[in-house]
Structure 1
């Protein structure tokens, strides 16, 4: 049975909101969640006071063993993503670069923090994890880009990206324009990263080049899709499509929230925010065809691997196998 029982929900998710999700492999689903009560009390500079959990759900195991979690206290924002660089592990990385590895039949363990220096691998705060092929990439502030090469082994890809100056650090706009929010790629030799007000960079396997992007809209999410195009989610739900230095504003929207995740799955581009799930059909943004409101309210985060797409957010989680949706849980099932 894929759906959680009430006892499972109460033990692992009750009182917590999901903020990230990821798939390690088929039927191995991972989630990051935050304590709701603590988050309501914490201000924007007190994220470390909010307890987090990394939960994992393996539905084909016996009830009692199939859903577990780890507790994180004193950590800032957490992001997760899988690595297959000589391993099969789910990595949880904090905004400060603290690293925990789990899954793959090995014990969970804290690793060394990602080293911080002007040359990388970490220059600033961690903002995003993304797996391209077998490689797990990490991006963040001050033009941080690195790739995991194994346990406690992070290779800097900061390379020729401009080094932040004191003036950059003291200017909010300049700092934002150097804070990478997402990364994706067609291969290790064809990567794109985005930041701030329309800042896009391309990596060819040797060096980074600034992309001639036609807008200064704030950009939030990116997808190197199976149709050969790159899709970039900008402010208010606008979407750009292109590659290299040729870009088109495909969709101009005035939504309340930008898209947090954009992925390619089952031959389509999927886009999500806390307010819903959409597809791009013939260049137009269309609300996804979902079987019920129970699935729709699970919007917020997307992850794709092994033919599955996991969607999880404030109100629950669901998975799409390429043909149909299956609910994992919906918070209002358990009032």
Structure 2
């Protein structure tokens, strides 16, 4: 187990403070759908016990990268800086035998971390954990570890998400901060066309997606929607000034944007239509296109958009009992709650990680 020593202050926060009630309900429903989990008890105790999952990404076929944090009681956590909460980047290897299918590295000083991956043009796929701090610290893990990278030293890039699109990894952050990883340890601004303005919560970004490197969308802030045409970013019109959370360039040729309350819009460029008016108290964490459908996940819900309505995700007539953060790549969808991970290959669901409760 390795650690790195750098620390950076951040807001006080508890990694497991959201969705604890719903996690208990989801956990109790697990065994109705799927029997024994892929990860055995000994390895679960070593890697996951006492930690809560905050994000995941599919690195490549058979390899998931999971970010987990120490589960600290809320009262104790309220007296800490978020950077003081221990963070683990976990590798889960679904094609390895039991006992050798999961490992982790523990990190210090990560503030509100998110996890992503790096693929081609690099020689080997790699997991990445990024910190919302002044430098945008990023720790690579897989086919070698480290050294620490910095997205934008002293510029407070505050990555909300790491998105890997056609092999290029992008850091998407507040105040229209977008950077792309062009080589190991080197991130460059990807901001041609953005005006210089004072930082404001009205400005994005929280998500980015693309049909191609010359047809990209970034969203966030209050109705802040931008399109990249291969040369520069241009602001698009949007019919609402609510907070925006995700953007998805879908396989049906449409662009889907989600926002405040879990609402949905569909369209392109500056033409958008509201298709769902949500009433949730939280945003969707991830909205993905998989198997010719739109899949949506939040801390409390896991849904599909089907025939102009949101429906629960079901398998063989039963609701799939999980919600949280989601990723899809190479014919696989994976989703993680605070203490569980499941995957779907288009035919069957697999329980990869779930808690062993004596």
- TM-score, normalised to structure 2, is 0.84
Residues 158-202 of structure 1, C-alpha deviations (whole Å, 9 max, x = no match): 22212233xx4xxxxxx1122411111111111111111111111
Residues 262 and 95 from structure 1, CA distance in 2 versus in 1: closer, same or farther, beyond 3 angstroms? same
Q: Which residue of 1 aligns with 2:298?
A: 273
| Distance (whole Å) between structure 2 residues aligned to residue 113 and residue 190 of structure 1 | 27
- Answer 1 or 2: higher relative contact order, Cα 8 Å, separation at least 6: 2
Name the CA distance, whole Å, in 2 between partners of 1:69 and 1:251: 40
Match of 1:232 among 253, 257, 261: 257
Question: Which runs of structure 2 are paired with 1:169-318 in the superposition (5 Å)?
Answer: 175-290=200-315, 295-297=320-322, 299-318=323-342
Moved more, 26-35 or 77-86: 77-86
Q: Match for residue 50 of structure 1?
A: 85
Give unmatched runs, 5+ long, in structure 2: 1-35
Instruction: Provide the C-alpha distance between the structure 1 equivalents of 2:81 and 2:316, rounded to a whole number of angstroms.
Output: 39
Q: 1:110-168 deviations in whole A, cap 9, x for unaligned?
A: 23312347xxxx55322111111111111112221111112012121122212233xx4
> Over aligned residues, Cα RMSD in angstroms?
2.0
CA 1:5–1:23: 2 relative to 1, 3 Å: same
Note if contact 2:203-2:220 (Cα within 8 Å) is conserved in structure 1. Answer: yes
Q: 2:68 aligns with which of 33, 37, 43?
A: 33
- What is residue 195 of structure 2 aligned with on the other side? 162
TM-score, normalised on structure 1?
A: 0.89
The 1:228/1:45 distance shift into structure 2, 3 A limit, reads farther
SS, match of residue 147 in structure 2: strand
Partner of 1:22: 57
**Structure 1's 293 and 74: CA in aligned 2 closer, same or farther, altered over 3 A?**
farther
Partners in 2 of 1:265 and 1:16 — Cα distance?
29
Asked if the contact 2:69/2:87 (under 8 Å) is kept, the reply is yes
Change (3 A) 1:45 1:132: farther
Measured against aligned partners, the alpha-carbon deviations of 1:53-98 in whole angstroms (never above 9, x if no partner) come to 1101102223332100111112201112122242122222111211
Q: Runs of at least 4 residues of structure 1 off by over 4 A?
A: 291-295
Partner of residue 98, structure 1: 137
Q: Does residue 347 of structure 2 align to residue 323 of structure 1?
A: yes
Q: Would the alpha carbon gap of residues 271 and 38 (structure 1) be closer, same or farther in structure 2, given more than 3 Å must change? A: same
Offset at residue 330 of structure 1 (A): 2.2
Bigger drift between 128-137 and 59-68 goes to: 59-68
1:291, distance to aligned residue in structure 2 (A):
5.2
Moved more, 235-244 or 32-41: 32-41
Indicate the residue corresponding to 1:74 in structure 2.
109
